[in-house]
Structure 1
Amino acid sequence: MQRVELFERIRRDRRLENASVRELARRYAVHRRVVRQALDSALPPQRKEPVMRRSALDPAKGWIDEMLRSDLTAPPKQRHTNKRILDRLRDEYGFTAVAYTTLNDYLRVRRPQIKEEADRARMMHEGMVPQFHRPGEEAEVDFAEVWVRVDGKPMQCQLFTLRLSYSGKAVHRVFSTSGQEAFMQGHVDAFRILGGVPTRHIRYDNLKPAVSQVCFGRSRVESQRWVAFRSHYGFDAVLLPSRHRGRP
């Protein structure tokens, strides 16, 4: 997990649950100093990159991760035990350069990570569309092309819209580009005009090229600047699939 994402989760749990520093440190297996850093700022302090020591298991991690991912949809009796993974590495890949205890240590950490990654990917793909909205809880953002006239000449611009789900009140901003700065500035203006930030989440249409590129890029992984922005203002983002386009 990236430190920006860790800080965002710590800040979100503090915001939603008012969890203590001790509880947050225990929950995320970090020192309380790290929790206090997250509560002070959405951006982690700069630190020197440690020199990573190579593990004898490194060449096999890709194979192991694929086995763990296949277990997510396999019947319980067909899922891999630690011993079965070790046997497959030896018999199918000819990999014998790792001790059983080293493999166990890796699996103890990686298994829950694989499940969490799959859960997050499914959430991003399927979205969350509640049927009822409470005041101030949710909003929806759209970032679409619009044509305007400047000095009598047509010009293609980008229209940012943030609309509250309960009241329907909306804030619109027109930008000359669909860059990240314009996208974030639209949020800042909307929060200022509306007098606050939605307390539950903001929904995004992931088919809009501008939203997709700004938030995720081609790799479909959230940009660290976007994660830090969400963490600073204290809101969660939910991407909607095509069947949920438009207001619910």
Structure 2
Amino acid sequence: MHTVELYGRVRRAVVVEGKGKRQVAREFGISRHMVRKMLQHSVPPGYQRKQPARRPKLDPWLGTIDAILQEDQNQPRKQRHTAKRIFDRLREEYGYGGGYTIVKDFVRLKKLRGQEMFVPLAHPPGEAQADFGEAKVVIGGVEQTAHFLTLTLAYSDECFVMAFPAETTEAFLEQSGSALANAASHLRRLAISQVESQRVRCCMKRTTDFYAPVGALLLAFVVFQGCNALNPLCGSARPAPIIASLSVNTITFADVQQGFLLTVNGSDFVSASVVVIDGTAISTNILSSQQLQVTITTALISGPGTASVTVNTPSGNSGLLGCTSGGTSRALNLTIT
């Protein structure tokens, strides 16, 4: 592959300096045909296929593949053929004896529409996605529409599917309850795809209006197994405080006698968090979710020694949902000399 720089030097030698094509070919070690090509193009034109690629083993079945892909346009998206399924059908139904790769490449080109974009996805364990949809099924020789709910655990690809002949509130409740119960030991986060069906939306609204209290308890105790901060129902749950450092680690007893202002640094502090010194909760000034301030006096410290400093956050009103809430941080020592 010749570089853009070489193209420029050859063109300059012929066009600007007036050298002959034979002479330029000898100087640059290329053929006269390549010199003529470089004069026609200012940059390397790249490889261009003059004729479509021949597929002698696949060509007799191209019409069959086109027909399968055309039929797929009338089917729900999730029931359309993959390249692997087309390959299997060609072998089983039409006696195709070629390989899979050539079938896959041809199907990919046929399905390609515009420029493809790929976004890498990573799913931690416990993440699930729920989708509602419909599919054409044959039951007892009769084709009919089935309305289904599928719940997929993305990390393991474990899948749960339940279908009903109609979109009703009863069907929606049965599907949702069975899906959540099936994934109870794994589920930590659930995403529901956009619901296009007006009937399913109606069922979801009815469920929210009439079954919210029961649904909350069921989801908290059955699905989330007692639940924790990952539970989306634990909106009133308070995080356990984390203490990182004190503004000082050592003070004098004279400082205590004058009333020493101590700053506690950390995270997940809330308005109900309090600083506890040697087991006694004291009046606390909330500066932010990362800083608390208290005044240390002789009412707490009677003389030199070491005091234990912790932060406590009382539990919220989320106990009815089975949610863990609040807690006590680790202890840091404050030395009084």
When you count helix as a share of all residues, which structure comes out higher?
Answer: 1
* TM-score (ref. length: structure 2): 0.27
* TM-score (ref. length: structure 1): 0.35
| Greater RCO structure (CA 8 Å; 6+ sep) | 1
Rg larger in structure: 2
